[in-house]
Amino acid sequence: MGILRTTNHRFTSSKTYWTKTHRAWLARLRREITGPMQIVLASELEMLEYLETSERSMDARITEIAQQYPWRRPVEALCCFRGIKTLTAMTILSEIGDIRRFRSPRQLMGYTGLVPSERSSGDKQRRGPITRSGNRYLRRVLIESAWHYSKQASSTLVLERRRMGQDPAIVGIATKAQHRLRRRYLHLARTKHTNKAVTAVARELVGFIWSMLWEIDRS
């Protein structure tokens, strides 16, 4: 909290904030300091506790809804992808809506704003940064999911459990995405900044998501 620095209260145990150690330091400081600063700190921590409790309650409610019709089947299918769990799957589904609105993967990619911008000069066309003109909530969770492909999978047991009992066609799409997107990241990371490589992976992930949701719609 920046306000603590004005009174020379600095957390020095590590460079990372909001860890267990940092939270314990704040709790101890709350007991030790007096006067107006104690009131401000107590108020801020109480608000934080309230927001965290509200977030947990909302997450639990979303998880409950995800287990009901018509969400359960597409949520379980999307969870077959590496980097996608229930809350991310629900965000993707609620932001996309009816997949039949998008007749091609390219249309869905455009909706996310993950496609490169283009600039024309005479007969030449140059690609620039992503357009960012689409759905920013969807784009954010897709990029967060894509980061998982920048790291070597530590264990596949949890993923295998999520895929258990799913349609072989669904599992096939998720498995193909897992291998393709990992290779794609490693290839791009050799010559491009990590953020650009992850963005490109997120764009390709959209294509696999499109294929999976259309597979569910057809079946």
Convert the pLDDT of each residue in 149-182 to its tens digit: 998 876 678 899 999 999 999 999 999 999 999 9
Domain boundaries, the chain: 13-64, 72-218
pLDDT band for 124, please (50, 70, 90 cuts): low
The residue whose two tokens read 């953020």 is: 195
Q: What is the predicted pLDDT for the residue at 156?
A: 78
Q: What is the predicted pLDDT for the residue at 138?
A: 95
Q: What is the predicted pLDDT for the residue at 158?
A: 87
Structure pTM? 0.84
| 204: region left, alpha or beta (phi > 0 left; psi from -120 to 50 alpha) | alpha
Cis, peptide link before residue 116, omega less than 30° from 0: no
Residues 58-91 have pLDDT tens digits of 999 999 999 999 999 999 999 999 999 999 999 9
Residues 9-41 have pLDDT tens digits of 889 898 888 899 999 999 999 999 988 889 999
- Are 74 and 80 contacting, i.e. CB atoms less than 8 angstroms apart? no
The pair of structure tokens assigned to 124 is 């030449």
